[in-house]
Amino acid sequence: MTRDNLGLIVLENAKEFGEKLQKNLNIIRNNDQNYIIPFSNSRFNNGEGKVVIGSSVREKDLYILSDVGNYSINYKLHGTEHEMSPDEHFQDIKRVISATCGHASKITVIMPLLYQSRQHKRKGRESLDCAIALQELERLGVNNIITFDAHDPNVSNAIPRLPFDSFYPTHTILSRLIREEKNNIDNLLVVSPDMGAMERARYYAEMLGCDVGVFYKRRDLSKVVNGKNPIIEHAYMGADVKGRNIIVVDDMIASGQSMIEVARELKSRGANSIYLVATFALLTEGIEGFMNAYSDGVFTKLYSTNLSYVPDTIKAQEWYCDVDCSMQMAAIIDTLNKKLSIQHLCDGKKQILQEIEKLKK
């Protein structure tokens, strides 16, 4: 059997997802080929690292997968347990690229959670981290960058000559939500928690064929708390929410405080079931807030993906639904490796509408 030239390098921070990706590539390609290329990533006691690739990558179409948001990876630093930061995960990506020694025919970096995506534009004297990182990858010889639900896809303007693909897990999430909540898919309304997420909310509404609303966050610009101006009021604009089943959509949840406040406001206005949806549930703080909100009946369930790390303790909660996107990722890699058009992977509206119609019948 002829072996194809596809190769995967899966960093430790994406190991679980990478194993699912491998299985789904075998399903799509109807073979048993192992695409994951072995490598070692050792650390010295002072924190310096070194990557060694364990087999040839010559003329490989190489895909490097890394979850830069994974905060469960530790190593010994000066004898003390040290939790890896996004900066260190990104540095390891560059080490892997360097270790290929220029032998791969093509290198694609896959960061489902785009490194420094929230620092994508400059206001005054501040850093421009995401743009600088993308330019670094370009200089290292990367041929393509793949991410999911980029905080602002316009950051690709920093690398105008380098392919940059931001995919959305919308149809994957909605397909799961429709199956799980089949009794509550009538009378839907999609709500954006702020103006910045409005385009994303509109996309969800178009997929579902329903109306959309938005909250405006009025902030106290005279104060800064935890790096942000505190929110004074959530002002709602849009269709009446009374008796409606609501889907609140955002790209990521850090503490989730804002999303919970929006859900409470919707509940006070008479909303029925409220489903929170986010591509990345980082949940780096604020778990108690979700626990309390769920106990109070504020929301029905939180749907998020396995594109970035979520602790098992959260996955085990009855209010959390973990949506597997590894088949979607496998389809993207398979299509790109075969040099085919990715257009059909960018729009799942027809599939979602068909699933809704089936349930209605």
Judgement on whether residues 159 and 10 belong to the same structural domain of the protein: yes
Say whether pLDDT at 353 is over 90: no
Judgement on whether residues 154 and 143 belong to the same structural domain of the protein: yes
Contact yes or no for 238/191 (Cβ under 8 A): yes
Say whether pLDDT at 248 is over 50: yes
Judgement on whether residues 175 and 160 belong to the same structural domain of the protein: no
Beta strands in the chain (DSSP E): 6-10, 39-43, 49-53, 61-65, 74-77, 80-83, 106-110, 144-148, 164-167, 188-192, 211-219, 231-237, 245-253, 274-281, 301-305, 320-323
User: Quick check: is 1 in a domain?
Assistant: no
The pLDDT score that the predictor gives to residue 66 is: 98
Judgement on whether residues 225 and 147 belong to the same structural domain of the protein: no
- What is the model's pTM? 0.90
Query: What average pLDDT does the chain have?
Result: 90
The pLDDT score that the predictor gives to residue 220 is: 74
Render pLDDT for 224-247 as a digit per residue (tens, 0 to 9).
777 767 777 778 888 899 999 999
Q: Tell the burial category of 55 from Cβ atoms under 10 Å away from its Cβ (0-12, 13-18, 19+).
A: exposed
The pLDDT score that the predictor gives to residue 32 is: 95
Which has the closest alpha carbon to 259: 250, 246, 268? 250
Rounded average pLDDT over 40-46: 91
User: Quick check: is 352 in a domain?
Assistant: no
SS3 110: strand
Which has the closest alpha carbon to 31: 40, 23, 19? 23
Judgement on whether residues 89 and 108 belong to the same structural domain of the protein: yes
Q: Tell the burial category of 119 from Cβ atoms under 10 Å away from its Cβ (0-12, 13-18, 19+).
A: middle
User: Quick check: is 105 in a domain?
Assistant: yes
Judgement on whether residues 132 and 15 belong to the same structural domain of the protein: yes
**For the chain, percent of residues with pLDDT exceeding 90:** 67
Judgement on whether residues 163 and 33 belong to the same structural domain of the protein: yes
User: Quick check: is 20 in a domain?
Assistant: yes
State the pLDDT confidence band at 81, using cuts at 50, 70 and 90. very high
Contact yes or no for 239/188 (Cβ under 8 A): no
Instruction: Kindly report the number of other CB atoms within 10 A of residue 232's CB atom.
Output: 12
Say whether pLDDT at 221 is over 70: yes
Which has the closest alpha carbon to 359: 175, 209, 182? 182
Judgement on whether residues 75 and 196 belong to the same structural domain of the protein: no
Judgement on whether residues 12 and 156 belong to the same structural domain of the protein: yes
Judgement on whether residues 178 and 59 belong to the same structural domain of the protein: no
Render pLDDT for 6-19 as a digit per residue (tens, 0 to 9).
999 999 999 999 99
Say whether pLDDT at 253 is over 60: yes
- Give, rounded to a whole angstrom, the gap between the first and last alpha carbons of the chain: 46
User: Quick check: is 351 in a domain?
Assistant: no
The pLDDT score that the predictor gives to residue 1 is: 45
Render pLDDT for 292-322 as a digit per residue (tens, 0 to 9).
999 999 999 999 999 999 999 999 999 999 9
User: Quick check: is 361 in a domain?
Assistant: no
The total domain count for the chain is: 2
Residue 297 and residue 301: Cα distance in Å, rounded? 10
State the pLDDT confidence band at 287, using cuts at 50, 70 and 90. confident
Judgement on whether residues 261 and 139 belong to the same structural domain of the protein: no
For 93, list phi and psi in degrees, rounded to 5.
Answer: -60, -45
User: Quick check: is 272 in a domain?
Assistant: yes
- Per the structure, the complete domain to which residue 16 belongs is given by 6-167+326-340
The CATH number covering residue 139 comes to 3.40.50.2020
Judgement on whether residues 214 and 320 belong to the same structural domain of the protein: yes
Rounded average pLDDT over 196-209: 87
User: Quick check: is 13 in a domain?
Assistant: yes
Say whether pLDDT at 356 is over 80: no
